Structure 1
Amino acid sequence: MSTEHYFSADPSTPGRPAEVTFAINGRDYRLASAGGVFSNGRLDGGTSVLLKKGALPTAATTGALLDLGCGWGPIACVLATEAPAAAVYAVDVNARARELTSANAERLELPITVAGPDDVPGDVTFAQIWSNPPTHAGKSELHAIMERWLPRLAPDGVAWLVINRHLGGDSLHTWLVDGGWAVERKASQKGFRVLRVTRKTD
């Protein structure tokens, strides 16, 4: 692997195309991936655990849903498929990731809004945030991402996060609680923690 990370804004790694197949909630998906993005060529183990253990939205779900750090778009595509009445946003700093997510959304005829972090309208609040955040970016960057996006949850919104236990899963849990969030560990599988994060109620 090169020293360039998947969270680079404009990766120079060759964009060798790949195709990924996976099944979630009884539905089969076939999506395009490429070099220079997170987990190119396969569905990452953490993302798989998140989508299987988190409470996916349903056809009755409305409002805005966010796939934060979308990569090539597996979470966004699942959210948009499961909740066609919701407005799904897919956000990533990586331009190639955004291009792949847009192509996959078009291929599946899913109305996903793909954007860079600075391009999401400031007045949009999210009923749900889903993320397998970039732990390899470092603790300070991870915390900055959470501090930027979690406050954009709607008052009754929920965030579903997956974190590798060996890459700070438990410390993130503690940090979120110390920051005033209500956090439940909903699953622990294959070394990953699935956290449900909401605003604390009085």
Structure 2
Amino acid sequence: MDDTVALNPAARESVRSGENGPVGEHYFTAEPGAPVRPREVEFSIGGDEYTLTSAGGVFSADRLDTGTTVLLKKGDLPTAATTGTLLDLGCGYGPITMVLARRAPQAQVWAVDVNSRAREFTEANAQRLGVSERVRVAEPDAVPETVEFAQIWSNPPIRIGKPELHELLLRWLPRLAPDGVAWLVVGRHKGADSLQAWLNEQGWHTDRHASGSGFRVLKVTRPQAL
């Protein structure tokens, strides 16, 4: 989640001191060394209130970060009629996953993160909200290649660098169903417009769906032929 969460193990991005762990630890760290220090994060999306448990060593452990807030408030969230399989790419402690699972009771949600602590807290939050039977939590390589997604939701890791970010997106966007849609949130001053242009150059139909608090919400659909 946000521009410092990395799912590509080749990337390197330092955690801000005092937010989610000591300087030098990385959001993509599989086994974070920061003290766990559980805490609760409360937020409201679409009129629903959420109280989730987070911990040190997990991205934005103390609050719902701005980018994810913009994504969830301005993207077209699934409804009770939504079916199929949804993906939360870079799930952290699971705020996007919980919103998707609660709003789409007929859908299955995959929550993907390399951070083992993030996955542990996502699983715990899914149990807490009573949606664990529809939430699959996994590291990236554990998602079967045969699984395709009706929707992908992500706050992608801009700061890992363009090559790594492009590799990440080209790994997961082709997993969209033919009529699937991906919702991405990117900082306006952190390459949102250039990323939109690059995605369009790759053949992905990418629109600027909304803007808010310095972020763009991009709507991405797959090309006619892939």
Q: Report the TM range for the smaller structure's normalisation.
A: over 0.9
- State whether structure 2 residue 46 is matched by structure 1 residue 32: no
TM, length-normalised to structure 1? 0.97
Contact 1:7–1:134 (CA under 8 A) maintained in structure 2? no
CA deviation map 1:61-86 (0-9, x unaligned): 00000000000100000000000100
SS of the aligned residue for 1:114 comes to strand
Equivalent of 1:165 in 169, 173, 188 = 188
Which residue matches 1:124?
Answer: 147
Q: Which runs of 5+ in 1 are unaligned?
A: none
Distance 1:43 1:117 in 2: 23
**Higher share of residues assigned strand:** 1
Bigger mean CA deviation after superposition, 1-10 or 115-124: 1-10
1:67 matched to 2:88: yes
User: Where do residues 131-142 of structure 1 align in structure 2 (5 Å cutoff)?
Assistant: 131-142=154-165
Is residue 7 of structure 1 aligned with residue 25 of structure 2?
no
- Which consecutive unaligned segments of at least 5 residues does structure 2 have? 1-16, 18-22
SS at match of 2:164: helix
1:151-194 Cα offsets, whole Å, 9 max, x none, are 00000000000011122111111111111100010111111010
Match of 2:166 in 1: 143
Q: Whose RCO is larger (CA < 8 A, sep 6+)?
A: 2
C-alpha distance in 1 between matches for 2:53 and 2:147: 28
RMSD: 1.0
Amino acid across the alignment from 1:108: L
Return the alpha-carbon distance in structure 2 between the equivalents of residues 148 and 201 of structure 1.
Answer: 18
1:90 paired residue among 90, 107, 111:
111
Amino acid at match of 1:105: A
Letter in 1 for 2:115: N
Give, in angstroms, the shift of residue 201 of structure 1. 3.7
Task: Count the aligned residue pairs.
Answer: 202
Match of 2:199 among 154, 176, 199: 176
> Helix, strand or coil: the match of 1:40?
coil
- TM-score under structure 2 normalisation? 0.87
